[in-house]
Amino acid sequence: MTNAWNDSLARYRRHAAEVLTTHQCMDTSCAVCGQQWPCKAACAAEFVLELRDMQ
């Protein structure tokens, strides 16, 4: 079960890193989705990347 969790977490981290390379701040909104910065996608990606530190 631990390996499955680590594999899933690694996939989530890779995806989160990809999200953060595309969802960027442009003035006060996201260049991709147009939401006010920080957008929901960027916030979720940051949260996933912080999970590594919680292990």
Contact 22, 34 (CB under 8 A): no
pLDDT, residue 1, reads: 66
pLDDT, residue 5, reads: 82
- pLDDT tens digits along 2-55: 788 888 888 989 999 999 999 999 999 999 999 999 999 999 999 988 876 555
Q: Is the pTM of this model over 0.85?
A: no
Q: Sign of the C-alpha dihedral, residues 21, 25, 31, 37?
A: positive
- pLDDT tens digits along 15-29: 999 999 999 999 999
